[in-house]
Structure 1
Amino acid sequence: MLIYKIFRSAEWADMQANGETKGAPIDVADGYVHFSTAQTVRETAALHFAGEGDLILLAVEADGLDALKWEASRGGTLFPHLYRNLRMADVAWDAPLPLVDGTHQFPDLA
């Protein structure tokens, strides 16, 4: 199962340069890397990245990912949280997440 992380371009560039990351400032503050599922990532974008362009969507294979825990968040929905640095080797693919008329345009997540 793929899970998804939204990064600002500078955060993605930093991860690429260093080979890994503790995540965005919210991840560092919370002590884990926040992920979304295909069912929740659009709402995550709308809630936490409203109006922001220059975003990158990362896909990570959850199966077999060590230090991944599913924990209740928004309304009791389970979200994947990674309790270690996110590594470049974890990333299955990345894609731009353009903002068009105020809405983030997602690639096909099926």
Structure 2
Amino acid sequence: MSDFVYRISVAKEWEELQRNGSTFGRELDKSSRFIHLSKLHQVRSTLDRFFLNSKDELYLLQIDPNKLGDGLVYEVVDGSNSFPHFYGPSRSFIPLPLDMVTKAEKLSLSNGRFSCSLLD
């Protein structure tokens, strides 16, 4: 498995990840007890669906799935789309460690379309 997985991160979460070396994500992640991730082809639709009206600065984090080990589980979400979710070992819900992030880029929004070099 070598294709990267991606995390859409608000600035506050990205800052926490850099400061503390890990993050449990946002409220949705904490209540779900896993970190929500996307494959590259899912990032745009996730941004459009959940982040278009966000007032937060957004970052796209590229994550090495090999480092996530068996804590990375692909699950069918809406009947057909399989999304990557990071649970941690034995579904223990550990925070996402900073050293799994291989790249981070700030997303810009122009004319209703998100962009950064990872997406373009």
Common fold by TM > 0.5: yes
Of 6, 9, 14, which aligns to 1:7? 9
Aligned residue pairs total 110
Equivalent AA in structure 2 for residue 14 of structure 1: E
Structure 2 residue ranges without an equivalent (≥5): 88-93
RMSD: 1.6
Q: Tell me the equivalent position of 1:45.
A: 47
- The runs of at least 4 aligned residues of structure 1 exceeding 4 Å deviation read none
Assess if the C-alpha contact under 8 Å between 1:51 and 1:102 holds in 2: no
Q: Deviations over 1:36-57 (max 9, x none)?
A: 0011110000011013351000
Q: Following the alignment from structure 1 to structure 2, what is the Cα–Cα distance between the partners of residues 19 and 82?
A: 16
Q: CA deviation at 1:101?
A: 1.9
Alpha-carbon spacing, 1:76–1:31, altered in 2? closer, same or farther (3 Å): same
Q: Deviations over 1:16-41 (max 9, x none)?
A: 11110111211111000000001111
Tell me which moved more, 64-73 or 36-45. 64-73
- TM-score scaled to structure 2, two decimals? 0.84
Q: Tell me the equivalent position of 2:90.
A: none
- TM-score scaled to structure 1, two decimals? 0.91
